[in-house]
Amino acid sequence: MLERYIRYSLQLLLLVSIFLIGESRKKYFLVRLISSLAVYFGVVAVLSYVWTWIGDAAGAPVPFVFSSIVNFTVMFGMMLGGIYVCFDIKLIDVIFDGTGGYALQHAIFCFITIITYFTGTFDTDTFGGLVLDYALLRIIPYVAVALFFYFYVIKPKRRSGELEYKNGRMIFFSAVIFLGAVILNEFAFFIPGSGNQLSNTFTSAVVCKGYSILCCVVSLAMQFSISKNEKTEHDKYLQERIFEIQRSQYSISKETVELFNIKFHDMKHMIDVLGSGDANGKEEVIKSLKEEISGAGMIFDTGNKALDTVLMQKSLVCQSNGIHFTCLADGQLTKIIDDMDLYVLVANILDNAINAVKPLEESKRGIELTIGESGGALLVRCENYCGKNTNFVNGLPVTDGDKRYHGFGTRSILHTAEKYKGAARMYQDGDVFHTDIVFPLG
C-alpha cells in the first residue's frame, strides 16, 4: 500500500500547488518546504507499515477501510500543516487551498475509476501495460486538469481579486460536504468481511464514485462562487462609497463656503470695532478674532495629499456638528497604502466615529486620530466616545446606521488591513470605542 499512498500524495501535491501559486511565502521558504516534505513522506512510510505490524500482532489484518480513512486523514492534515508552515497566509486560506486541491484530486480519481469500470485496465504485468497504466490513468489526467484549472479558473480569479474574499463558515461547510463524500467512498470501496477485498460492482464503482464527483464539484463551486459574491458585494459597496464621497464633496464645499462667509462676516465686524479707536473691549475682540481665524478650518500637511484631503473634509464635518477632532498624523508612513484605499479607510474610520458621537452631549463629542509608527509598524488608531454598549458579531460592531450594507464599512476596514498584510482590532473599553489598525512597514 506504500505505492498507493505515495501516488496519492504526489497527485495531491500537484493539485494543491496550483492553488498556492501567487500566495505569499514565508521567510526561508525552500528550507521550510524541504523539511515539510521530508516529514510528510517519512510519516507516510511509517503509516504504511504500522497497520501491518498491528495486524501481525493481533493475528488478523486491520480492516483496510479503517486504516485508509485514518491514513488519508493524517496525510491531508499534514498537507494543511505544511501549507501553513511554508506560506504566509491565514488559516481560512490554508483550508481553501488544501480542500480545493483535494476536491480536484478526488474528482479525477473517481472519474478514472468510472471509466476503467467500463473499459477495463491495462495489463500491469507487462512493462508496456505498466507504462500505459501510469501515464494514461495516474499522471496525464491529473497534469491536464491541473493546467486547465489553473489557467482558466484560478489565475483569472486571482488576477481579478476574487480569491481575496472568503467566507469562513461556507468554506467549512463545503469542506464537510466533500470530506464526507470521501469517507463514504472508502466504505463503498471495500467489501465488508471479505478480508480487505476491493469492490468493483456498478454501485461502488459508478454510483458511489459519481456521487463523490458531484460532491467535489459542489464543494468547489461553493468556494469559488462565495468568493465571487463577496467581491461583488465589496465592489458594490465601494461604488456606493465613491458616489457618497463625490456627493458629500459638493455638500461639504457648499457648507464650507457658507461657514467661511459667516466667519468672515463676523471678523469684518471685529475689525470695524478695532478700527473705531474704542479701547474698551479690544483685548476681548482680538481674542475672539484669533479664535475665529484658528477655527476657520483645519489645514493639514501630513506629507500625503490623499490623507490631507480626507482629514480636511472630515474635520469640517466635525466642526459643523460641534465635534472636537484632534489628529496627529505622519503621512509619509502611509505611502505604503494606495491613495484610494487610504482615503476610503480613513473616511470609514472617521464616519463610524462621527456617527457614534453625534447623538452625545457636547462634552463627549470628541474624536482622536493618531497615525504614526509603533514597534516598527504603521499604527492607525482612532478613539471616540460611544453612548451605549456596542454589540459585536463575528468581530464586527453592529449598529443601526448601515441598513443596506450591514457592517460593510467596518468589513471594508478589515479588508484593507488584510490586503496590506496588516491586522485590525475594534473594541470598547468603558464608554470609549477603539479602532486599532497595524500595517507592516518592512
Q: Per this entry, what is the length of the chain?
A: 442
pTM of this prediction exceeds 0.75: no
Choice between 387 and 112, residue whose per-residue pLDDT is larger: 112
Q: Band of the pLDDT at 33, cuts 50, 70, 90?
A: very high
Which of the given ranges, 33-42, 108-117, 216-225, has the highest pLDDT on average? 33-42
Residues above pLDDT 70, as percent of the chain = 73
pLDDT in tens, 374-386: 989 999 999 999 8
Mean pLDDT of 207-211: 88
Per-residue pLDDT at 49: 82
Yes or no: say if 373 and 442 are a contact pair by the CB < 8 Å rule.
Answer: no
pLDDT at 226 > cutoff 80: no
Question: In whole angstroms, how far apart are CA 417 and each of 85, 91, 349, 374?
Answer: 22, 16, 12, 16
Which of the given ranges, 195-199, 294-298, 402-406, 435-439, has the highest pLDDT on average? 435-439
Q: Band of the pLDDT at 402, cuts 50, 70, 90?
A: very low
DSSP 46-76: HHHHHHHHHHHHHTSPPPHHHHHHHHHHHHH
Per-residue pLDDT at 405: 40
Other CB atoms closer than 10 Å to residue 133's CB: what's the count?
A: 17
Closest-CA residue to 88 (of 166, 24, 32): 24
Question: In whole angstroms, how far apart are CA 140 and each of 1, 108, 143?
Answer: 22, 11, 5
Mean pLDDT of 50-64: 72
State the Cα–Cα distance between residues 236 and 222, nearest whole angstrom. 21
Choice between 72 and 254, residue whose per-residue pLDDT is larger: 72
Q: Band of the pLDDT at 331, cuts 50, 70, 90?
A: very high
DSSP 140-167: HHHHHHHHHHIIIIIHHHHHHTGGG---
DSSP 284-337: HHHHHHHHHHHTS-----SS-HHHHHHHHHHHHHHHHTT-EEEEEE-TTGGGGS
Closest-CA residue to 438 (of 372, 396, 384, 380): 380
Average pLDDT, the chain: 80
- What domains does the chain contain, in order, with CATH numbers? 2-236 (no CATH), 307-442 (3.30.565.10)
Per-residue pLDDT at 434: 94
Which of the given ranges, 154-163, 248-257, 324-333, has the highest pLDDT on average? 324-333
State the Cα–Cα distance between residues 300 and 66, nearest whole angstrom. 68
